[in-house]
Amino acid sequence: MSTRGPGVRLLIAIAIGFVMGLALGFALMGAPDAIRTEAATWLKALGDIFVRLIRIVIPPLIFFTISAAVASVADLRRLGSILLFMFVLYLGTSVLAATWGIVAGAVFRPGEGVGLQPPAGYTPPKPPSAVDILLSFFQLDFSALLTVGGAMTMIIFAIILGIAVVLLGEEGRRVYSFLRLASSIMITVVRVIMYYAPVAIFGYAAWLIAVYGPAMLGAYGRFLVAQYSLSFLHFFLVYGIIAALGGLSPLAYFKIQSAPFLVAFATRSSAVTLPTNMEAARRMGVPEEVFQITLPIGATVNMDGTALYQALSALFVAQLFGIALTPAHIGIAVAAVLVGSVATAAIPGGGTIMLAFVLGTLGLPLEGVGIMMVVDPMSDALRTALNVSGDNACTVLLSRVLGFRRS
């Protein structure tokens, strides 16, 4: 596609919106409660408008970009190697992230010596079983594919449809042209909506600090310090190295990735950040046929930030309740976190809902989910930023290793 994105100017506008939002949020922290609450409600609404617009676009965007990209890789063996290498990279980085979460819990010990209570009126959820999770990847009805929760099934459907188009041979080329055009149109729709992003990011950043700033004190503060330290380490060290291995200087990667990073931080949704992440991949020189497959799938299944968070949360909850974990528990925790992070929906708070599965597998008190909800938005902001950044780092490396031309 030839149209260039709004690029640097939009990135600067988003960064300015973010900083102004943080400043207003800190100012509001000192305001009387009634004013702070009323202002926060309006500020959050500014962000919600953006998220709702993007969420409408997500199902057709995923469908058209993936099916068009799959159909464009006319060689099915090549498609197989993209999918295989993608899963190896996504899995490898998630194992590493889960390990960082364990290290953070063991080193910072954020939950030790505190007795936290779940929010009033909270009842622990029933954790889903592994079979429930597996079957949730295959929704029952086509209408379910149109929701963010049905994204995984939509991906599977789009891949199969793309393969069918390839198998149709000459005749399929006409359908391919249509899919390609529809995919460009959906991306352009997103670009138009993106002009509103700086206002949304401003609103969300201010709301986040005004409402959740005070939670930065005490045990939650220690938890956030542990999570943020290791998440930034993963971002700069692991993704820096992966980008370099992919032939992109780490500095260029960090610079271009800063736009999706901020959008993810403010919107707390990998799905909503998908279009911005695709634009960044394009600017990193990754060909469309690669990132249009790896990024929508990555947004849905590859969540390093969530893996780190869920592993750390398991230790945090165990520490709060004074439960000792054995090395065997730690192994189970890493395995459960891998399943949990794949199954997490790419929406705000998805990782804390799926935390029920991780805690349930380890036999830890499910009240932990309620405890984590108190601090969820602050934690979600950074884990989502890490989630989307990992998709792009892996995409850069994959594109080089499999010999796709960097434009």
Q: Cβ of residue 348: shortest distance to ligand ASP, in angstroms?
A: 5
Cα 257 from Cα 255, distance rounded (Å)? 6
Per CB under 6 A, residues contacting ligand ASP are: 268-270, 303, 306, 344, 346-351, 380, 383-384, 387
Report the nearest approach of ligand ASP to the CB of residue 344 (Å).
5
* Shortest reach from residue 341's CB to ligand ASP, in Å: 8
Q: Which is nearer to ligand ASP, 289 or 304 (CB)?
A: 304
Listing DSSP states for 223-269 in one string gives: HHHHHHHHHHHIIIIIIHHHHHHTTS-HHHHHHHHHHHHHHHHHH--
Task: Tell me the DSSP string of 324-344.
Answer: ---HHHHHHHHHHHHHHHHHS
**Residue from 362, 302, 299 nearest 336 by CA:** 362
Identify the sign of the CA torsion 308, 311, 314, 316.
Answer: negative
Q: Which residue is at the shortest CB distance from ligand ASP?
A: 351
In whole angstroms, how close is the CB of 267 to ligand ASP at the nearest point? 8
CB of 253 to ligand ASP, least distance (A): 19
Nearest CB to ligand ASP, comparing residues 303 and 393: 303
In the complex with ligand ASP, the residue whose CB is nearer, 70 or 386, is 386
- C-beta of 268 vs 282, nearer to ligand ASP: 268
Least Å from the CB of residue 180 to ligand ASP: 28
CA–CA–CA angle 96, 97, 102 (5° rounding):
95
CB environment 205-222: b (16+ within 10 A), e (fewer): bbbbbbbbbebbeebbeb
Residue 79 or 314 having the CB closest to ligand ASP: 314
Give DSSP secondary structure letters for 29-80: HTS-HHHHHHHHHHHHHHHHHHHHHHHHHHHHHHHHHHHHHHHH---HHHHH
- Give 7 or 119: the residue with its C-beta nearer to ligand ASP: 119
Nearer to ligand ASP, 72 or 273 (CB): 273
CB 54 within 8 A of CB 204: no
Least distance from C-beta 201 to ligand ASP, angstroms?
16
With tokens 């065997």, the residue in question is 328
